[in-house]
Amino acid sequence: MISLRRAAPQLIALAVILFLNWLAFPGFFNIRIQDGRLFGSVVDVFNRGAPVMILAIGMTMVIASRGVDLSVGAVMAMAGATAATMTVAGYPLVAVLAAALVVGLLCGLLNGILVAFLDLQPIVATLILMVAGRGIAQLVTEGFIVTFNEPGLIFFGTGSFLGIPMPVVIAAVLGVLAILLVRRTALGLLIEAVGVNRSASTYAGLNSRVLLLFVYTFSGFCAALAGIIATADIRGADANNAGLWLELDAILAVVIGGTSLLGGRFSILMSMLGAIIIQAMNTGILLSGFPPEYNLIVKAAVIIMILLAQSLSLAGAGAFFRPGAKAKPQEPLRSSDPSANKAQNPA
């Protein structure tokens, strides 16, 4: 689906990071099999990166529709809290999983309604759950870190399938399903159309509101799934810290993957690659013996570099520090104004 050439910058970046990791930690590429499961730093990168990969799958579609979902971290906490609490209360695994996923779907639905039908800005709409969600998660766990020992649920965090850690399996399966869903149906095209030009899409007979509702609901679903994995992984629900800042990682993964924050063309696979790049950086910093929080600086640098690169490729070097460029995006609204052509500056 994606050509190697398009993915080249990301693949090169990943290779460089892996190489640096190997320099810092010569055993980086060692993989061993223990108890029928793969172990090793590289496996770890995928395993730790799985929740962000899953979030990034949903986030990709939201961003493609020219939106953003800030609530995914809080939704993770809520879904995790639901799963842990219900497990402790003795509900069967199926009920636990179903309930946690329904929590995510409902949260996504709420975001979708606010964006699509109340026409709220996505940042504003999803901010509400971002703030309230953790409180609700605390409400579910009654303020405690709820721990459990139910092997069925734990399996989703630390189990393995054919030697591959469960989170990786889940992320991969979800990724494949999501790619099939958007590319084997017309959903992908329709979401891209709405993200690029909602007005023209409406003129063409697209139901943009239902499409927006779908992307936010799906994002909520992904967040719930990531929440289940995170909870299963630590065998407990920590409403304060589960999924903390992961919404930002997910957004970053999508941006690294090459999907524009202004909506349009998207690639789920590339976003997942972006998530792996982020995790590879995290792991590298850990292996080098730095505190994990150092990667915040690295992330900041990555964001600034991407912004600079996009700005350069949009405006062309030289036109860079021209404040007059600000008024540009508004002008094409005037129908006959030929200056509207400025907007289609070839990249």
Partner 1 sequence: MSTGEALVSAEKIIKSFLGLRVLDGVDFSVRPGEIHALLGENGAGKSTLIKILTGVHQPDGGTIRLRGTPVTVRDTGHAQELGVGTVYQEVNLLPNLSVAENLFIGRQPMRWGLVHRSEMEKRAKALLAQYDIDIDVSADLGRFSVAVQQLVAIARAVDLSGSVLILDEPTASLDRAEVETLFAILRRLRDRGMGIVFITHFLDQVYALCDRITVLRNGKLVGTREAAELPQVELVSMMLGRALAEATHGAEAERRSAPPSSGKRIEFSHYGRARSVAPFDLSIGAGEVVGVAGLLGSGRTETARLLFGLDAPDSGSLTIDGKPAKVLSPRAAVQLGFALCPEDRKTDGIVGDLSVRENIALALQARRGWLRRMPSREQAELADRFVKALDIRTSDIEKPVKFLSGGNQQKVVLARWLATNPRLLILDEPTRGIDVGAHAEIIALINRLCEEGLSLVVISSEIEEITAYSTRIRILRDREHRGELTGAEISPDNIMRAIAAQASASNEGASA
Partner 2 sequence: MSNRLLPFYATLLIAVVAYGLCVMQFPNMFSTRVLGNLLTDNAFLGIAAVGMTFVIISGGIDLSVGSVIAFTGVLIAVLVGWYGFHPLVAFAIALLLSTLFGAGMGAIIHYLDVPAFIVTLAGMFLARGLSFVITTDSIPIGHEFYSTIQSLYWRMPGGGRLTVIGGLMLVVFLGGIVLAHFTRFGSYVYALGGNRQSAELMGVPVARTTVLIYALSGFLSGLAGVVFSIYTSAGYPLSAVGVELDTIAAVVIGGTLLTGGTGYVAGTLVGVAIQGIIQTYIVFDGTLSSWWTKIVVGILLFAFIALQRVLVLVSSRKAGALAPA
Q: Does 319 bind partner 1 (CB under 8 A)?
A: no
CA geometry: angle at 124 spanning 108 and 266, to 5°?
A: 60
185 near partner 1, judged by CB under 8 A:
yes
Say if residue 74 is exposed, middle or buried (CB neighbours under 10 Å; 0-12, 13-18, 19+): buried
Q: Does 341 bind partner 1 (CB under 8 A)?
A: yes
Cβ neighbours for 182, distance < 8 A, ≥ 6 positions apart: 61, 188, 191, 268
Closest among 134, 80, 71 to 107, alpha carbons compared: 71
- Return the residue of 138, 207, 241, 310 that touches partner 1, per CB under 8 A: 207
Q: Which of residues 212-251 bind partner 2 (CB under 8 A)?
A: 239, 244, 248, 251
Candidate list 52, 54, 110, 206; residue touching partner 1; CB under 8 A: 206
Q: Within 233-272, which residues bind partner 1 (CB under 8 A)?
A: 264-265
Instruction: Note whether 58 and 218 are within 8 A (CB).
Output: yes
Which range of residues in 8-16, 21-29, 115-123, 206-214 is near partner 2 by CB under 8 A?
115-123
Candidate list 26, 36, 90, 205; residue touching partner 1; CB under 8 A: 205
Q: Minimum CB separation from partner 1 for residue 70, in Å? A: 25
- Closer residue to partner 2 in complex, CB, 139/186: 139
300 scored as a contact of partner 2 (CB under 8 A) = yes
- Which of 11, 93, 181, 261 binds partner 2 (CB under 8 A)? It is 261
At residue 71, φ and ψ (nearest 5 deg) are: -90, 0
- Residue 161 backbone class (left: φ over 0; alpha: ψ -120 to 50; beta: rest): beta
Q: What is d(CA 191, CA 183) in angstroms, rounded to the nearest whole number?
A: 11
Residue with token string 């770890």: 44
Q: Give me the least distance between CB of 7 and partner 1, in Å please.
A: 18
Spatial contact of 183 and 60, defined as CB atoms under 8 Å apart: no
- Chain residues in the site for partner 2 (CB under 8 A): 68, 118-121, 123-125, 127-139, 142-143, 239, 244, 248, 251, 255, 261, 291, 293-301, 303-304, 307-308, 310-311, 320-321, 323, 325-327, 330
